[in-house]
């Protein structure tokens, strides 16, 4: 069994009118089966309202399934006694960096998680150091988080999760509010966690370019998994993605358009180098 597994997961929001009477139900997640192996890098795409954040919130028991089950590292998230273990195993990073940082100094913020777990002081410092080094923020350890850029704040948030020694980390649009440089920094840090530390990553994003290094990509629509595959398999289906209100990286789109015009190129080109080489090879 994988580190994150869901079976027939359904989540319904209750819609209420102004007086609080129940008007109906909205099914945000509809019979989702997911099986993520330890060490995998998973990306979840989907338009606004497709259910990806609702799904993510089940992974560390912020939400509990209406129907079906979710297991994290073998523990059922609906069982109250596991809740703290689950939140320690599966850390979560959200969209807005300003909502997640509480410390006055970077290292204090990162130490909050392990301190809360009752880790000894000596070990807290070790964990703070290694976590900040892993995201490339060690030299800022004495800084005030307020003075950092968005990308740096997000990396501090990630270090804060990392210091709890999670087995997996769920990032819900961590780059949505960042500029291109901040986005690059965060994605680089996330990839390093996955490749170097072997931490399982679930990345939710609207930026297609950020998913090209994932092991598997899931595309959600109306609460269901609409597509699943490697980045290359997914991005080969340009028209299908556009139907689902998504797009493909600009390089993939360019390759697709050239192919349609009769240039001999494979589908699912993901990087600038790949396209340049393929075109150079075709002459």
Interface with another protein by CB under 8 A: which residues? Answer: 46-49, 95, 149-151, 173, 176-182, 206, 208-209, 242, 245-247, 249-251, 253-254, 257-258, 261-264, 272-273, 275-277, 279-280, 282-283
- The three-class DSSP label of residue 282 is coil
- The three-class DSSP label of residue 238 is helix
User: Between 74 and 264, whose beta carbon lies closer to another protein?
Assistant: 264
CB of 165 to another protein, least distance (A): 31
User: Between 104 and 242, whose beta carbon lies closer to another protein?
Assistant: 242
User: Between 105 and 253, whose beta carbon lies closer to another protein?
Assistant: 253
Q: What is the rounded CA–CA span in Å between residue 155 and residue 100?
A: 11
CB of 243 to another protein, least distance (A): 9
User: Between 28 and 70, whose beta carbon lies closer to another protein?
Assistant: 28
DSSP labels, 126-143: HHHHHHHHHTT-GGGTTS
Q: Are strands 200-204 and 41-46 parallel, antiparallel or unpaired?
A: parallel
**In the sheet that 168-172 helps form, which strands lie side by side, from edge to edge?**
90-93, 168-172, 200-204, 41-46, 216-221, 224-229
Measuring CA to CA, how many Å separate 54 from each of 13, 77, 82? 10, 14, 20
User: Between 65 and 151, whose beta carbon lies closer to another protein?
Assistant: 151
In DSSP terms, 227 is beta-bridged to 219
What is the radius of gyration, based on Cα positions, of the chain?
20
CB of 219 to another protein, least distance (A): 11
CB of 245 to another protein, least distance (A): 3
User: Between 107 and 221, whose beta carbon lies closer to another protein?
Assistant: 221
Q: What is the rounded CA–CA span in Å between residue 213 and residue 14?
A: 37
CB of 18 to another protein, least distance (A): 9
Q: Are 264 and 282 in contact (CB under 8 A)?
A: yes
CB of 31 to another protein, least distance (A): 22
- Beta carbons within 10 angstroms of residue 220's beta carbon: 25
């Amino acid at each position: 069994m994988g580190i994150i597994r869901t079976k027939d997961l359904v989540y319904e929001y209750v819609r209420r009118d102004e007086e609080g009477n129940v008007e109906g139900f909205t099914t945000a997640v509809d019979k989702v089966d997911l099986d993520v192996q330890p060490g995998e890098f998973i990306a979840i795409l989907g338009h606004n309202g497709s259910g990806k954040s609702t799904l993510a919130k089940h992974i560390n028991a912020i939400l509990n399934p209406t129907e079906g089950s979710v297991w994290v590292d073998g523990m059922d998230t609906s069982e109250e006694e596991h809740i703290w273990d689950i939140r320690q195993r599966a850390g979560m990073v959200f969209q807005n960096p300003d909502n997640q940082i509480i410390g006055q100094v970077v290292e204090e913020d990162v130490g909050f998680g392990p301190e809360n777990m009752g880790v000894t002081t000596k070990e807290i410092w070790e964990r703070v150091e290694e976590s900040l080094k892993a995201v490339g923020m060690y030299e800022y350890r004495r800084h005030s988080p307020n003075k950092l850029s968005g990308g740096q704040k997000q990396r501090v948030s990630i270090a804060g999760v990392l210091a709890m020694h999670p087995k997996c980390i769920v990032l819900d649009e961590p780059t949505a509010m960042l500029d291109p440089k901040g986005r690059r920094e965060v994605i680089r840090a996330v990839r390093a966690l996955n490749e170097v530390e072997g931490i399982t990553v679930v990345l939710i994003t609207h930026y297609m370019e950020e998913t090209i290094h994932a092991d598997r990509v899931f595309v959600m629509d109306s609460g269901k998994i609409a597509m699943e595959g490697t980045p290359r398999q997914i991005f080969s289906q340009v028209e299908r993605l556009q139907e689902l209100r998504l797009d493909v990286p600009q390089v993939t789109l360019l390759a697709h358009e050239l192919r349609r015009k009769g240039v001999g190129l494979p589908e699912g080109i993901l990087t600038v180098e790949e396209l340049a080489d393929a075109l150079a090879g075709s002459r």
